[in-house]
Structure 1
Amino acid sequence: MKGKVWLLAALFSVSVLAQEEPTVTQEPASPDPVDPPVTEAVAMTLLTKPAGWRGERIALPPEFAPELPFKGVEEMRFAPGMFDPQASDFFSYLFAFSLEPGHALNKASIQELLSVYYRGLCDTVAADNEFDCDPEQVSLTITTVLGGYLAELNWVEPFVTGKPQTLYLELLPIPGERPLLYGAASPQDLNHEQWRILRRYLPTPE
């Protein structure tokens, strides 16, 4: 009787192992999206949330815009669909600039900061991805609103599509010894649900 029990146990173990054997399906490889050049894998101190969004931190001026007349750091948090042109949160992200002492943040300086930044980003990344982006055709307009600024960027999206894109930005400057500029960006209309999500993680204007 014992022999039969051991035999049944052995057969049962073999059956379970056979069921748990993983099945590997070969999927066609797809290219990874090209990320902005020069990123540092360090702790996020300006944008600690949302932790589930991929974060990056770069030094200013960045390599893609060495002529940027500002020094400091920038942190970014990318929405899950940042590099998926079919996603509702495509190219939607949060950012924060922390500038070294001596830099003033007003409408004119923010215009200069973002114009030089996005022209360099478009020119460098588009070339890496074999897209055409004339930095002279990148235009940024800023409007003063209560508590900060609204901006509209017209450029060629250089990471995934290589197509013209209008990007909207909400900007919140915070003065201090090290001035801060918090912002959110998305090609979605400002009344879209995506903006409710982005605004949740921006500081509240005083």
Structure 2
Amino acid sequence: MHSKFLLACFILFTGIFQSSGQEKSSDSKLLAPPGWRSERFSLPPAFAKSIPFAGKEDIRFSPNWAKKNTEGYWTYCFLWAIDDSPSFAAKDIGIYLKDYFTGLIKANLAASKTDVSKAIPVEISLREAEEKNTADKVYEGDIRMLDYKEQAPITLHLRIFVRDQKKVNSGLIVFVEASPQPYNDKVWRYFDSIYKSIN
């Protein structure tokens, strides 16, 4: 029974994205490790129209993304390929992600006919991080929000890479890694391999 519920949660999550204009991910060059699922759609998504830029989002879900008490639970990453060059300092990223996750959570609660008032306020804290192996701007931090699958609070650790594309074309590349697992867990090595596949 529980496994059926988790499968329904995954379908619901991806269904929200599908209603946001999902596209085929076959033309994406972003790595998908074995067993990881992919989704791709336009920005801003239907559940977060307040996000002030356009582009594409490419998502990679870990194999156990919807399975509670597993290493891969709520472990996924996504790439934003943004058409313009909006401000992307830590404060701006916090605002964009707060709008994004607030809309995502409420959309999933509404789709499952759950009272959206159960959604606790999304809280995000970010700091600039030192990464010697990339020229991208890097931020780390946490997001505290409602796990709408379990109806309980959850904290995800974040690592975010921001790449200015002005030298090759217009726009920005933003890569977001999210997991409740600590940074020394092996799931972050999967994120590293996905990140390195970005052109």
Scaled by the length of structure 1, what TM-score is found? 0.76
Structure 1 CA distance, aligned partners of 2:96 and 2:89? 10
Q: Does 1:146 align with 2:130?
A: yes
Which residue pairs with 1:196 in the alignment? Answer: 189
Structure 1 residue 112: Cα displacement: 1.9
Post-superposition Cα deviations, 1:41-79, rounded to whole Å, max 9, x if no partner, equal 412525233253110012111111111112111110100
- Structure 1 unaligned spans of 5+: 1-26
Structure 1 residue 169: Cα displacement: 0.9
Worse overlay, 73-82 or 98-107: 98-107
Distance 1:98 1:115, change over 3 A: same
SS of 1:183's equivalent in the other structure is strand
Structure 1 CA distance, aligned partners of 2:192 and 2:139? 14
- Contact 1:183–1:202 (Cα < 8 Å) also in 2: no
Structure 2 CA distance, aligned partners of 1:136 and 1:91? 17
From 172, 180, 185, give the equivalent of 2:178: 185
Structure 1 CA distance, aligned partners of 2:41 and 2:115? 24
Matched AA of 2:128? T
SS of 2:4's equivalent in the other structure is coil
Post-superposition Cα deviations, 1:87-110, rounded to whole Å, max 9, x if no partner, equal 211010121001112423322321
Distance 1:28 1:91, change over 3 A: closer
- Contact 1:188–1:194 (Cα < 8 Å) also in 2: yes
SS of 1:184's equivalent in the other structure is strand
Structure 2 CA distance, aligned partners of 1:134 and 1:68? 23
Post-superposition Cα deviations, 1:88-142, rounded to whole Å, max 9, x if no partner, equal 1101012100111242332232122211111111121123232656566110111
From 164, 178, 186, give the equivalent of 1:175: 164
- Structure 2 unaligned spans of 5+: 132-137
Highest relative contact order (Cα 8 Å, sep 6+), 1 or 2?
2
Which residue pairs with 1:109 in the alignment? Answer: 92
Structure 1 residue 162: Cα displacement: 1.6
SS of 2:102's equivalent in the other structure is helix
Q: Does 1:82 align with 2:65?
A: yes
Distance 1:78 1:133, change over 3 A: farther
SS of 1:123's equivalent in the other structure is helix
Which residue pairs with 1:94 in the alignment? Answer: 77
Which residue pairs with 1:3 in the alignment? Answer: none
Structure 1 CA distance, aligned partners of 2:181 and 2:97? 19
Distance 1:112 1:88, change over 3 A: same
Q: How many residues are aligned here?
A: 178
From 5, 10, 13, give the equivalent of 1:35: 13
Structure 2 CA distance, aligned partners of 1:102 and 1:175? 8
Which residue pairs with 1:22 in the alignment? Answer: none
Structural RMSD (CA): 2.5
Structure 2 CA distance, aligned partners of 1:28 and 1:110? 35
Which residue pairs with 1:156 in the alignment? Answer: 146
Structure 2 CA distance, aligned partners of 1:44 and 1:183? 20
- Contact 2:61–2:77 (Cα < 8 Å) also in 1: yes
Structure 1 stretches of 4+ with a deviation exceeding 6 A read none
Structure 1 CA distance, aligned partners of 2:118 and 2:196? 34
Which residue pairs with 1:19 in the alignment? Answer: none
